[in-house]
Chains A and B, each alone.
Chain A
Amino acid sequence: MNFFVEARTQILVSLGVYIILKILFAFHFVSEYIEQITIYSFIVIIASLGLNVIYGYTGQFSLGHAAFYGIGAYASAYFSRIFGIEHVYSFLPVLLLSGAIAGLTGYLIGIPILRLRDDFLAIATLGFGTLVRVFFDNSDRFAEVLGGSRGFVGIPRITNLETVCFVTLFLIIITRNMISSRYGLFWRCIKEDETASMSIGIDTAKMKLMAFAYGCFLAGIGGALYAHLYTFLHPSNFDVLKSIDFLIIVILGGMGSIMGTIYAGIIWVGFIEGLRIILPAAMLDLRWVFIPLLLIALMMWRPYGLITKGR
């Protein structure tokens, strides 16, 4: 099938990456901590890719991406608990279902708010993000197991190198194919000029919804993988600051670039965690000073991203 034939390069590269990482992990060349953040960087890439579809390709500015990431995380943790899932194979359907729930939520919330443009949309997504955070904080009132502000504990650790490599590869290929299909073309048209898009017959409302729901689906998958990597969820992991992390990665990598998102995801996780290693414990909080400074510098010198060429 054309699907696999045209994805040869990606499959080979991922296989190479997998083998190298597997050797590093298996012979304990790296600490368990490094192992964990390596896997985490894959998760960040998946979720950021979702935001890149929404913002980078379709031009719909969202400040609520972490909410969908959180919805995927909580949904998957909940399903794992009630179905008693402990193994990777039974986890894959849960993964898909959690992604679908995040995507569906995105679709439903998208119907009213995607009519808004630019800054109004930003405020609406910000509002939704806050709403979800508040919901997580009080979630124990709906179901004790969700843990509310104490956090969701005791999630089985299922996410491993194989799972993230396979899922990331698969989703990157699907996303790439979507982007190069007519749907991706319509998304880019909408980003360029919504009025002109309508004048050539693009159902802009539908296409925006599709991009938004798909982007949220990717966030949900990322969240579900995250939940089963760290085995503990806390509402504060899914607040607006987290949304901004994804936004920074998309901007850092360059809007509308899949490769850019991949590089930026790795750089981002490496940077944050690297500072944790370099900085003495007493100054650890300074990380949150460096990051905004980095963002300001980026906007001044490379407004179109570090990786893509300037316009």
Chain B
Amino acid sequence: MNAIEIEGLRKGFGGVKAVDGISFHVGEGETLGIIGPNGAGKTTVFNLITRFYVPDSGRIMFFEKDISHLPSYKLPRLGIGRTFQNLRLFQNLTVMENITSAVLCEQGYNVFSGIFRTEGYLLAEAKARQEAQRLIDFFQLTGREKDPARNLPYGEQRKLELARALSLRPRLLLIDEPGAGMNPREIQDLVTTIREIRERFSLTIIIIEHQMGLVMNISERIVVMDFGEKIMEGTPGEVKKDKRVIEAYLGEEFA
């Protein structure tokens, strides 16, 4: 079964066609890489899938369910988690709160329980902390639970954002440029981490990335975008050799 199927997705901002009729699919358990030069419309595709933007036309199917009309906040419940290109953590909340907030969205209690601190409230809170702790340990952030997120070094903030997305128990994880601003050593770590979470959480992953090493290493299939369109699709090996890809990245004279 396909985890996600996108058909003829279009989005324009004024005169600019950010995404111009793109179609692709990702099988369950597969990892798809999306590459392309800056401004090719990669992040817009993510924002369309998670409904931060409303598509002008096109259809998005998630496990054979049409999600193109759902409001953004309902998607995590269906099993879509994401991270952001420029880190969007809750900077002044603690590491623990950053994750429990996501867990408590799904495993909640009502206002009454919250005000009067019923057993249900205590139970749900304890369970959320437990789950968050598991992820904190997994991402080696142990000991920093009570630190505000802003105090973490950059690499750990990236990890925390991944942990937050994973706490939603997603079936599909959208990772937007995880390697941005990282050195080769950190990137190596990141590749290992992504591999690990893919196994451990049996995830379908779509990853946007500029660092060719990273994306070629992880993805089974790659979609190349330029000017809002898909210019090719194939295995990492095929993509590396393709003339159109080299053209898009390096300019015609190199092709």
Contact = CB atoms under 8 A, between A and B. Distances in A.
B136 to A, nearest CB: 16
B105 A202 contact: yes
B106 interface: yes
Contact of A196 (B90, B92, B105): B90
B77 A201 contact: yes
Given A3-B115, A201-B106, A202-B105, 7 more contacts: A181-B111, A181-B113, A195-B52, A196-B90, A199-B76, A200-B76, A201-B168
Nearest to B99: A200
Given A2-B122, A196-B84, A185 B50 contact: no
Interface stretch (A16-24, A72-80, A186-194): A186-194
Contacts of A2: 116-118, 122
B90 A198 contact: no
Interface of B: 50, 52, 72-77, 81-82, 84, 88-93, 97, 100-102, 104-106, 108-109, 111, 113-118, 121-122, 124-125, 164-165, 168
A192 B116 contact: no
B77 to A, nearest CB: 6
Contacts of A186: 101, 104-105
A177 B116 contact: yes
Smallest CB-CB A-B distances: 7 pairs: A181-B114, A201-B76, A2-B117, A196-B88, A201-B105, A200-B102, A192-B90
Interface string A175-216: 001100111011011001101101111111000000000000
Interface string A280-311: 00000000000000000000000000000001
Contacts of B92: 188, 192, 311
Residue with the highest number of chain A CB atoms closer than 10 Å, among B100, B105, B109: B105
A189 B101 contact: yes
A86 interface: no
Contact of B114 (A183, A195, A196, A202): A183
A174 interface: yes
A192 B91 contact: yes
A1 interface: yes
A192 B168 CA distance: 19
B115 A178 contact: yes
B153 to A, nearest CB: 18
Contacts of A193: 88-91
A180 to B, nearest CB: 8
B116 A1 contact: yes
7 contacts: A181-B115, A182-B124, A188-B97, A196-B89, A198-B52, A201-B74, A201-B105
Given A189-B93, A193-B90, A198 B117 contact: no
A6 interface: yes
A169 B154 CA distance: 43
Given A193-B90, A200-B168, A182 B102 contact: no
Given A200-B76, A201-B77, A185 B116 contact: no
A201 B77 CA distance: 7
A193 B87 CA distance: 11
Contacts of A1: 116-117
A185 B72 contact: no
Given A3-B117, A188-B93, A198-B52, A182 B108 contact: yes
B122 A201 contact: no
Contact of A3 (B93, B105, B116): B116
B122 A183 contact: no
A200 B75 CA distance: 9
B101 A200 contact: yes
Interface string A243-265: 00000000000000000000000
A181 B52 CA distance: 27
Given A6-B117, A200-B105, A183 B111 contact: yes
B135 to A, nearest CB: 13
